[in-house]
C-alpha cells in the first residue's frame, strides 16, 4: 500500500531530479524507507538503522545515509511541498479557493536555547521550557499544503514567511469562529 502511494505520487521520479554526485546513496530509497518506518514503526534514525538488518534483500544502508538524506530534504523542502501540492491537484482534481493557517507550539523539556528552541509564549503553560513554533497551511478540506518552523520566541501574527494577496488567511481564533458558525 505504501509503495503504491509512493508510485502514485511519482516520488522516485521527483527525487531523481536531485541527483548529487557527492551523495553515495539513492535518496529516493532512503526517504521511502524513513517514511515507511515513521508510519509503521516510528523510531529515531539510529533505531531505524539498527532495525534495518531484519529486512532481507533490501538496499545497502549506512546510518549516515539517513542523516544526509535529512539535510538534502531540508534543502529542497519548498520543491517537495510544491510538487506534492501540484500532484494532489492533478490526482484529485483539487481546487484551492481558501486556505487556513494555524500556529501551534512544541515545547522541549529543556532550558537550553539554540537557533530555534527559545523561550516564548506557551499555549501549554510551559513558560519555563524552550519551544519552537509550527505554522501549518491547509486547504478547505484539511489537507496540508505547507508548513514552516519558527523560533520559539516569535509572535504568532509574525509567523507567516510568505504573503500572497490571493490567500484568505484565518488565524486559529477566526477558524474556530467560522467552524462554529457553520454548525449553527
Tell if the pTM clears 0.75, that is, is over it.
no
Give the neighbor-by-neighbor strand order of the sheet with 99-107.
99-107, 131-139, 144-151
pLDDT at 120: 87
pLDDT at 173: 46
pLDDT at 104: 87
pLDDT at 156: 67
pLDDT at 4: 94
Per-residue pLDDT tens for 6-43?
999 999 999 998 877 778 889 999 999 999 999 989 99
* Cβ burial, residue 84 (10 Å; 0-12/13-18/19+): middle
Residue 135 neighbours by CB under 8 Å, 6+ apart: 101, 102, 103, 147, 148, 149, 150, 159, 160, 161
pLDDT at 159: 56
Q: What is the DSSP letter of 23?
A: -
Cβ–Cβ < 8 Å for 120, 131: yes
Query: Domain residue spans in the chain?
Result: 2-89, 96-183
Residues in the chain, pLDDT under 70? 56-57, 156-184
pLDDT at 56: 62
Amino acid at each position: 500500500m505504501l509503495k503504491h502511494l509512493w508510485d502514485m505520487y511519482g516520488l522516485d521520479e521527483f527525487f531523481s531530479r536531485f541527483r548529487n554526485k557527492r551523495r553515495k546513496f539513492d535518496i529516493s530509497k532512503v526517504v521511502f524507507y524513513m517514511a515507511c518506518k515513521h508510519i509503521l514503526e516510528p523510531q529515531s534514525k539510529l533505531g531505524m538503522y539498527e532495525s534495518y538488518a531484519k529486512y532481507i534483500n533490501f538496499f545497502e544502508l549506512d546510518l549516515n545515509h539517513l542523516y544526509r538524506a535529512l539535510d538534502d530534504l531540508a534543502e529542497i523542502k519548498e520543491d517537495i511541498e510544491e510538487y506534492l501540492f501540484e500532484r494532489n491537484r492533478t490526482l484529485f482534481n483539487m481546487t484551492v479557493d481558501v486556505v487556513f493557517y494555524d500556529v501551534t507550539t512544541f515545547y522541549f523539556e529543556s532550558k537550553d536555547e539554540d537557533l530555534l528552541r527559545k523561550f516564548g509564549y506557551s499555549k501549554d503553560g510551559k513558560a519555563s521550557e524552550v519551544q519552537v513554533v509550527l505554522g501549518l497551511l491547509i486547504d478547505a478540506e484539511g489537507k496540508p499544503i505547507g508548513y514552516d518552523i519558527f523560533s520559539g520566541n516569535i509572535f504568532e501574527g509574525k509567523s507567516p514567511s510568505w504573503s500572497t494577496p490571493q490567500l484568505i488567511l484565518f488565524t486559529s481564533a477566526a477558524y474556530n469562529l467560522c467552524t462554529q458558525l457553520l454548525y449553527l
